[in-house]
């Protein structure tokens, strides 16, 4: 997959710029660049939050509903440390909006589960240019970052609807089992405290000029959301019910970003 997006960006650059010798970016007055763009997180690995929500009597619910990539935005300032732009220090902020809705059936009942939260990240790290290409002054780079991730606005609701020949009595058992979260109108709501985690992100990316000072910066990588500050007492990090999963296991995600970058 990484080779595909490398070829795409190189083709785009070569179509927008004529062949040229290596051009030194360090002739610019500033060693800083500012970038903004889209970013996504896709949960990977053995994480129930990445599965469809379904009802299990013994734990009330299972799955987070986040089976697809969740979208966000990324803002980044990069400091170039040398004339050849080999070593860079990024400082950035990103936010991801997790939002899912799952519908399922059990006998005469329709379950509508809605689950949402935001993940805000402040990050820094080190990026290293491994190769340079003459077209578009492009760089193939790799990097490691430390992320402080703040999870907020975590809500979960389940609404039960009688269908077919069902009656309200079919819901009464669920009301009793979920009494602590019943808010009326056959709806249950749960929240979980905001929390902070420290994690890492390993990136592989490519950047190149599309016009003088303007660049495309694209990268993908594997992110660990909770390397430090895990808390088993709150259960799985990305599930709202505290007792759904006993321990807080590692939460892995694939990170993709596509940024427009301006060299100051």
Classify residue 192: in a domain, yes or no: yes
Domain that holds residue 185: 152-197
**Dist. CA 49–CA 248, nearest whole Å:** 12
The three-class DSSP label of residue 47 is coil
Contact 72, 97 (CB under 8 A): yes
The pTM assigned to this predicted structure is 0.82
Question: Predicted confidence band at 23 (pLDDT cuts at 50, 70, 90)?
Answer: very low
Classify residue 224: in a domain, yes or no: no
Sign of CA dihedral 18, 23, 28, 30: positive
Could you give the number of structural domains in the chain? 2
Classify residue 255: in a domain, yes or no: no
Classify residue 168: in a domain, yes or no: yes
Q: What is the mean pLDDT of the chain?
A: 82
Residue pLDDT, tens place only, 99-124: 998 887 777 778 888 889 999 999 99
Residue pLDDT, tens place only, 51-85: 887 765 555 556 788 989 999 999 999 999 988 88
Classify residue 58: in a domain, yes or no: yes
Cβ contacts of residue 68 below 8 Å, gap of 6+? 42
Classify residue 174: in a domain, yes or no: yes
Classify residue 145: in a domain, yes or no: no
**Dist. CA 202–CA 146, nearest whole Å:** 9
Question: Predicted confidence band at 188 (pLDDT cuts at 50, 70, 90)?
Answer: confident
Classify residue 63: in a domain, yes or no: yes
Question: Predicted confidence band at 17 (pLDDT cuts at 50, 70, 90)?
Answer: very low
Question: Predicted confidence band at 25 (pLDDT cuts at 50, 70, 90)?
Answer: very low
Cβ contacts of residue 125 below 8 Å, gap of 6+? 89, 90, 143, 144, 145, 146, 201
């Amino acid at each position: 997959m990484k080779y595909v997006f490398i070829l795409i960006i190189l083709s785009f650059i070569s179509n927008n710029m004529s062949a040229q010798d290596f051009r030194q970016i360090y002739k610019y007055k500033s060693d800083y660049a500012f970038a903004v763009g889209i970013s996504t997180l896709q949960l990977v690995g053995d994480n129930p939050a990445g599965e469809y929500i379904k009802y299990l009597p013994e734990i009330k619910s299972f799955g987070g509903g986040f089976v697809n990539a969740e979208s966000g935005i990324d803002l980044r300032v990069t400091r170039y440390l040398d004339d050849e732009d080999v070593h860079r220090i990024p400082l950035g902020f990103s936010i991801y909006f997790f939002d899912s809705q799952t519908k399922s059936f059990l006998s005469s009942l329709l379950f509508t589960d809605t689950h949402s939260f935001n993940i805000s990240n402040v990050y820094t790290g080190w990026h290293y240019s491994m190769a340079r290409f003459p077209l578009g002054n492009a760089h193939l780079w790799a990097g490691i970052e430390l992320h402080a991730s703040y999870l907020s606005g975590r809500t979960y609701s389940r609404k039960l609807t009688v269908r077919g020949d069902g009656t309200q009595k079919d819901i009464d058992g669920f009301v009793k089992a979920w009494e602590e979260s019943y808010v009326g109108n056959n709806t249950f709501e749960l929240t979980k405290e905001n929390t902070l985690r420290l994690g890492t992100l390993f990136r592989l990316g490519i950047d190149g000029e599309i016009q003088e000072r303007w660049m495309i910066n694209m990268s993908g990588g594997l992110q660990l959301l909770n390397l430090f500050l895990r808390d088993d007492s709150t259960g799985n990090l990305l599930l709202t019910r505290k007792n759904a999963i006993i321990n807080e296991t590692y939460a892995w995600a694939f990170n993709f970003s596509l940024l427009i970058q301006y060299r100051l």
